[in-house]
Amino acid sequence: MERHVLVVLPHPDDESFGAAGLIALHTKAGVPVTYACGTLGQMGRNMGKNVFANRETMPLIRKKELEDACQVLGIEDLRFLGLHDKTLEFEDPEVIADSIEIIIKEVNPSLVVTHYPGHGVHPDHDACGYATILAVSRIPQEERPTVYCMAISKNRIEALGEPDVAIDITSVSDMKMAAIKAHRSQTEAMMESMEHKIKQQDPDTLKWIQREVFWTYKFE
């Protein structure tokens, strides 16, 4: 049983797509989860299936969607790092790491979840993952939490090997789906297709909502 889980990801909805099952399993078991979200996803390309967002309203919409997703997943401690979407690669990683380190020292997690640096599909993923690893590396080795990384690059298996953590999330797959749906501005059209595939028992889609995988980061 983990003591406390800290999730550090750059965008609203990253938590739902990549780690909702892990999060839900822990909150249902009474383990507190803190989510430090880097940005408000204000540069997201989707504006809703029937467009209801614009550049001015997008930050508030996505913030509310994330709050709703956190409620679904049982996350009671949501933090915002105050960064701007699509700019993390241009920020000083030491400065981002400073903010993350403060949270680590406050909540004292036994497990941290982030993106594997170099294996995201977005520069924000890589920059956030790198800053998180940097922050954790500052913690004395004997006190350092385990870090689970999401790797979503096409060459992840070739570069990193098979994931060493595979979690059966079947029991909370409904919570994962509900959390993804909460990010309506980004996911509404996609969810229609996904639910159709689930009804058709598409094996790849079923696997995606029943299993989450991670790579444990190996500190040198």
Q: Is the pLDDT of residue 134 over 90?
A: yes
- Which of 45-49, 205-209, 212-216 is predicted with the least confidence, judged by mean pLDDT? 45-49
Q: What is the arithmetic mean of pLDDT over 13-18?
A: 97
* Sign of the CA dihedral with 40 first, then 117, 171, and 190 last: positive
Contact residues for 31 (Cβ-Cβ < 8 A; gap 6+): 1, 2, 3, 4, 5
Cβ pair 13, 187 in contact under 8 A: yes
Domain of residue 21 covers 5-216
109-119 pLDDT, tens per residue?
A: 999 999 999 99
Token pair 């599909």 is found at: 121
What is the spatial distance between Cα 132 and Cα 115, in angstroms, rounded to a whole number? 9
148-185 pLDDT, tens per residue?
A: 999 999 999 999 999 999 999 999 999 999 999 999 98
Say how many residues make up the chain. 220
Six-digit token string for 11: 């965008």
Cβ pair 111, 6 in contact under 8 A: yes
Six-digit token string for 214: 């991670």
In terms of DSSP H, where are the helices of the chain? 14-28, 58-73, 93-107, 123-137, 156-160, 173-182, 184-199, 203-210
pLDDT confidence of residue 45: 64
Task: Output Rg (C-alpha) for the chain, integer angstroms.
Answer: 17
pLDDT confidence of residue 189: 82
Tally of domains in the chain:
1
Cβ pair 72, 176 in contact under 8 A: no
CATH number for the domain spanning 59: value is 3.40.50.10320
- Which of 1-10, 143-152, 187-196 is predicted with the least confidence, judged by mean pLDDT? 187-196
Cβ pair 84, 120 in contact under 8 A: no
What is the spatial distance between Cα 125 and Cα 121, in angstroms, rounded to a whole number? 7
At 220, the pLDDT band (50, 70, 90 cuts) reads confident
pLDDT confidence of residue 192: 84
pTM: 0.94
Q: What is the arithmetic mean of pLDDT over 62-91?
A: 96
27-62 pLDDT, tens per residue?
A: 999 999 999 999 998 776 665 455 555 667 888 999
